Every structure is written in structure tokens, then in C-alpha cells.
Structure 1
């Protein structure tokens, strides 16, 4: 998949907190997700994670501060840093992370842990 239209890809799913892979490169994946509400606190011990806001607004919460995100904003969460995204209204985000990263990191949550490798 060398090229694609992100708006078209986002239109192909409705569920929240279930990342979809749209591209892979050098052991990394580019994932799309729709988010709404509060995600569980978690960390990725071995991986950095980059969040890019595509549509809507959300905030990345850390134990000591929060970062407000709007369309076009991005933020790198360093490996090992506990965080959670929170969206008061639906937002669409693009994630950049290693292919083997589980969305809930060190937390196993029946409601939020998504299957890995789901490709659009």
C-alpha cells in the first residue's frame, strides 16, 4: 500500500479505540483510530509512540500534566512514560509505532485491548 486517502480510510470503520494499520515501513506501523472517552492509563516499556490528531480534539494526559491536541498537532510519548488519551467528543488520530506494540501497552483490558495487525 504505497499511497492512500486518510479520509477514505477513516470512513471505513466506526468503532472506537481499535487501531487499523494503513501502512508499514521499517518495522513501524501507521495506524488510524477513532477515540471517544477515556482510555486506560498505560505505558509502552520498549517503544516510543507518536500521536497525530487528524480530526477533532483530544488531550494526552500524563500523571503530571496534559497536552491538548487539535488537527495537525502531534506529540511523541517516550517509551516507559505512563499516559492516556481522552476525547470529550469523537476524534480521529494517526499513530506511529513499532508493529508489535499493543494499544494498551502494559495493561490487559477486555474492553480496550485491540487485536493487532488489523489492516484497512
Structure 2
């Protein structure tokens, strides 16, 4: 990919929540775009760190001992093995940076939140 990516255009291409779309790949990592609303299940990723960057709206990452609230332009890295869940009271748009093989629900049981792998936008 050697051209600019318009995030507004990419986010406008889908409307479902908790279904990340791959916008780019580099060095074994995905840049995933996701719309979120509500609360995602508790989970962890044993072998991968995750970075969440808020593009639009308000988003939070909940840990068992604290909550980190994020505004547009802010990001957080969740270290591998750390249990967490994500949430947004109103729709938010978030970029996720993580290895391509990572399943969005991590070690949680397969559910309606488990997104298909490799969907692109």
C-alpha cells in the first residue's frame, strides 16, 4: 500500500459493532478498524500486546482493578496476558494494532463477539 488511507471513508464503509476490519498489514501486524458500542467480554491474549487508538467517540479499557477512559487521539497498549474488556456507552471508532493471527476475543469462549478473521475494508 503506497497511497494515503482515508479513515473517515474506511469507517463509513461498515456499520456493525465489534467486527474489526483489516485496513492495512505490516510486519506481521494488522491495522484493524472497529466500531464499538456496549461492553465486550473479559479476555486476554497470552502471546500478543494490543494497541487501541481512538479515532472518534469515547472508549474505555477496563481492567479488574481500574478503568482507563480514552478520548479521540489517545491510545493505550494492553500488555500480553493482561485480562481486560473494552466498552463504549455510545458508538466509537477505534484503530487496533495487533499481530494478524490474534482472535479478537482472545481466550474467551467463542461467542457472538468472535469476529471472522481477515475481513478487510
Question: For this structure pair, what is the TM-score category when the shorter chain's length is used for normalisation?
Answer: over 0.9
Cα distance in 2, alignment partners of residues 68 and 110 from structure 1:
25
Aligned residues: 120
Instruction: Report the RMSD for the aligned CA atoms in angstroms.
Output: 0.7
**Superposition TM-score, scaled by structure 2 size:** 0.97
Q: Which residue in 1 is equivalent to 2:73? A: 72
Between 89-98 and 109-118, report the one with greater CA deviation. 109-118
Cα distance in 2, alignment partners of residues 94 and 28 from structure 1:
12
Q: Which residue in 1 is equivalent to 2:42? A: 41
**Superposition TM-score, scaled by structure 1 size:** 0.97
Question: Any gaps of 5 or more consecutive residues in structure 1?
Answer: none
Question: Any gaps of 5 or more consecutive residues in structure 2?
Answer: none
Paired residues for 1:3-82 under 5 Å: 3-82=4-83
Q: Report the secondary structure of 2:8's partner residue.
A: helix
Q: What's the CA shift for 1:107?
A: 1.1
Runs of 4 or more above 3 Å deviation = none
Q: Which residue in 2 is equivalent to 1:88? A: 89
